[in-house]
Amino acid sequence: MTDDIGVLSAPLIIEYPFSRTTGPVIGAFLTGLREQILLGIRARDGRVVIPPTEYDSATGEDLTELVEVGPGGVVDTWAWVRHPMPKHPLQVPFAWALVRPDGADVGFLQPVDAGSLEAMATGMRVKPRWGDEREGSIHDLACWEPE
């Protein structure tokens, strides 16, 4: 038995090609993205929630009333990404932000391409930037940019 052996090393890639059914509510949300329309859903207390959920977060009751919101919105809070990772939606420095579209009562996590850290501010107005080829996926909404 020799100790002076070179240790073997090789790439290992694990990939699962999942597809999943969306259900009627998320399906409608993704349909909206494909058609460049943002959809929230009206909760039992009257608030509009985006992305829409099938059930009321407080009572568990079915929610059924999808509501068009946006397209503009407000940045409620954000964090700046200096060094994007390969899987990030933007390959330039950008912000992860909670974006609250006009007419919605909660924000949802979205990338904002503001160009620079100095251009980001809580409360700033943003508008969606749509992907060129949309197929009914969250990626149809490429990111948000200053209005």
Partner 1 sequence: MPDITLPASLDGVELVRSVRTPARMEYTYTAGVATTRFLKGLAQGKILGERAQGGKVYVPSRGADPQLGVPTTEQVDLPHVGTLVSFCVVNVAFYGQGMEIPYTSGLILLDGSDLPLMHLIQECPVEDVHIGMRVEAVWVDASDLGPTLESIRYFRPNGEPDVPVRQPGEGVTW
Alpha-carbon span 61 to 77, nearest angstrom: 29
User: Virtual CA dihedral for 121, 127, 78, 96, nearest 10 degrees?
Assistant: -140
Of 122, 118, 113, whose CA–CA distance to 146 is shortest?
A: 113
Nearer to partner 1, 18 or 118 (CB): 18
Is residue 147 a contact point for partner 1 (CB under 8 A)? no
Stretch that binds partner 1, among 28-36, 77-85, 106-114, 121-129 (CB under 8 A): 28-36
In the numeric block, the tokens 């501010």 are attached to 121
Find the shortest distance in angstroms from Cβ 54 to partner 1.
Answer: 9
Nearer to partner 1, 4 or 118 (CB): 4
Measured between alpha carbons, how far apart are the two ends of the chain, in Å?
Answer: 68
Is residue 6 a contact point for partner 1 (CB under 8 A)? yes
Find the shortest distance in angstroms from Cβ 67 to partner 1.
Answer: 7
Find the shortest distance in angstroms from Cβ 4 to partner 1.
Answer: 10
Cβ burial, residue 14 (10 Å; 0-12/13-18/19+): exposed
The tokens of 23 are what?
């259900």
Is residue 98 a contact point for partner 1 (CB under 8 A)? no
Peptide bond into 51 cis (omega under 30): yes
Stretch that binds partner 1, among 57-65, 90-98, 102-110, 124-132 (CB under 8 A): 57-65
Is residue 53 a contact point for partner 1 (CB under 8 A)? no
Binding site for partner 1 (CB under 8 A): 1, 3, 5-22, 24-25, 27-28, 30-32, 34-35, 37, 39, 62, 64-68, 136-137
